[in-house]
A and B are shown apart, each in its own frame.
Chain A
Amino acid sequence: MSEQTVTIIIDGQEIQAQEGQSILQAADAAGIYIPRLCYHPDLPPGGHCRVCTVKVNGRPTSSCTFPVSEGLVIENDTEELNLLRRNIIEMMFVEGNHYCPSCEASGNCELQAMGYRLGLLAPTMPYLRRRRDLDASHKDIYVDRDRCILCGRCVRASREVDHKVAFGFEGRGIDKRIAVDGEHSLSESGLAVTDRAAEICPTGCLMVKRKGYQTPVGQRTYDHKPIGSEIEKE
Chain B
Amino acid sequence: MTEAEIIKQIVDQFGKDRSRLMDIVRTAHAKLGYLSEETIGRIHSALGIHRVEVRDMVSFYAFFSRKPEGKTVIRLCNAVVERMKGADEIAKAFEEAVGCKFGQTSADGAISLKYTACIGMSDQAPAALVNGVPLTNLRPEDVPKVVAAIRSGKGPESLKQAEVDNNLLQPGPVIFAPSERGEALRAAVNRTPEEVITEINKARLRGRGGAGFPTAMKWDFCRKAKADEHFVICNADEGEPGTFKDRVILTSQADLVFEGMTVAGYAVGAKQGFLYLRAEYEYLLPHLENVLAKRRRLGLLGKDLCGREGVDFEIRIQLGAGAYVCGEESALIESLEGKRGAPRDRPPFPVQKGYRNQPTSVNNVETLCCAARILEKGADWFSKIGTKDSTGTKLLSVSGDCKHPGVFEVEYGVTVEKILEAVGAEDAQAVQMGGPSGQCLAPKDFGRSISFEDLPTGGSVMIFGPQRDLLECMYQFTEFFAEESCGWCVPCRVGTTLLLKKMDKILEDRGTRGDLEQLQSIANTVKTMSRCGLGQTAANPILSTLQNFSSLYEERLKPDDFIPAFDLSKALEEACAITGRKPELEEKHV
Interface residue ranges, A against B (CB under 8 Å):
45, 47-50, 53, 60, 62, 65-67, 84, 87-88, 91-92, 94-95, 124-128, 149-150, 165-176, 179-183, 189
The smallest C-beta distance from A177 to any residue of chain B, in angstroms, reads: 9
Q: Which of B265-273, B444-452, B489-497, B580-588 makes up part of the contact surface?
A: B489-497
A-B contact pairs, 19 of them (CB 8 A): A47-B345, A50-B529, A66-B347, A67-B347, A84-B528, A88-B491, A91-B494, A91-B495, A95-B493, A125-B518, A126-B498, A126-B565, A165-B52, A172-B340, A172-B485, A172-B487, A181-B50, A181-B51, A181-B52
Interchain CB contact (< 8 A) of B493 among A167, A173, A183: A173
B522 & A87 in contact (Cβ 8 Å cutoff): yes
B484 & A173 in contact (Cβ 8 Å cutoff): yes
B525 & A84 in contact (Cβ 8 Å cutoff): yes
Interface residue ranges, B against A (CB under 8 Å):
37, 41, 50-53, 55-56, 59-60, 323, 340, 345, 347, 482-491, 493-498, 501-502, 518, 521-522, 524-525, 528-531, 565
B56 & A91 in contact (Cβ 8 Å cutoff): no
CA A181 to CA B486, docked complex, whole Å: 21
The smallest C-beta distance from A91 to any residue of chain B, in angstroms, reads: 4
CA A180 to CA B53, docked complex, whole Å: 10
A172 & B60 in contact (Cβ 8 Å cutoff): yes
The smallest C-beta distance from B326 to any residue of chain A, in angstroms, reads: 11
Q: A125-B518, A174-B497 known; 4 other A-B pairs, CB under 8 Å? A: A53-B529, A125-B498, A150-B487, A183-B37
B491 & A168 in contact (Cβ 8 Å cutoff): no
A126 & B491 in contact (Cβ 8 Å cutoff): no
The smallest C-beta distance from A26 to any residue of chain B, in angstroms, reads: 15
CA A174 to CA B494, docked complex, whole Å: 6
The smallest C-beta distance from B32 to any residue of chain A, in angstroms, reads: 18
* A125 contacts across to B, CB distance below 8 A: 498, 518, 522
B493 & A174 in contact (Cβ 8 Å cutoff): yes
B518 & A124 in contact (Cβ 8 Å cutoff): yes
B502 & A167 in contact (Cβ 8 Å cutoff): no
The smallest C-beta distance from B319 to any residue of chain A, in angstroms, reads: 18
A92 & B347 in contact (Cβ 8 Å cutoff): no
The smallest C-beta distance from A110 to any residue of chain B, in angstroms, reads: 14
**Of B347, B482, B497, most A-chain CB atoms within 10 Å:** B497
A174 in contact with B491 given A47-B531, A179-B55, A181-B52 (CB within 8 Å)? no
Question: Nearest chain-A residue to B501 (Cβ)?
Answer: A126
* B490 contacts across to A, CB distance below 8 A: 48-50, 88, 91-92, 95, 149-150
CA A66 to CA B531, docked complex, whole Å: 12
The smallest C-beta distance from A15 to any residue of chain B, in angstroms, reads: 20
**Of B52, B485, B488, B495, most A-chain CB atoms within 10 Å:** B52
* A65 contacts across to B, CB distance below 8 A: 345
* B489 contacts across to A, CB distance below 8 A: 47-50
Interchain CB contact (< 8 A) of A176 among B41, B493, B565: B493
A173 in contact with B483 given A88-B491, A126-B501, A168-B56 (CB within 8 Å)? yes
B524 & A84 in contact (Cβ 8 Å cutoff): yes
The smallest C-beta distance from A188 to any residue of chain B, in angstroms, reads: 9
A173 & B486 in contact (Cβ 8 Å cutoff): yes
* B55 contacts across to A, CB distance below 8 A: 168, 170, 179
* A67 contacts across to B, CB distance below 8 A: 347
B52 & A167 in contact (Cβ 8 Å cutoff): yes
A62 & B531 in contact (Cβ 8 Å cutoff): yes
* A182 contacts across to B, CB distance below 8 A: 51-52
A180 & B528 in contact (Cβ 8 Å cutoff): no
* A45 contacts across to B, CB distance below 8 A: 345
Interchain CB contact (< 8 A) of A171 among B345, B487, B530: B487
* A88 contacts across to B, CB distance below 8 A: 490-491, 525, 529
* B491 contacts across to A, CB distance below 8 A: 50, 87-88, 91
CA A88 to CA B51, docked complex, whole Å: 32
* A171 contacts across to B, CB distance below 8 A: 59-60, 487
CA A47 to CA B37, docked complex, whole Å: 30
The smallest C-beta distance from B15 to any residue of chain A, in angstroms, reads: 22
B529 & A168 in contact (Cβ 8 Å cutoff): no
Question: Nearest chain-B residue to A181 (Cβ)?
Answer: B52
CA A67 to CA B353, docked complex, whole Å: 15
* A53 contacts across to B, CB distance below 8 A: 528-529
The smallest C-beta distance from B372 to any residue of chain A, in angstroms, reads: 33
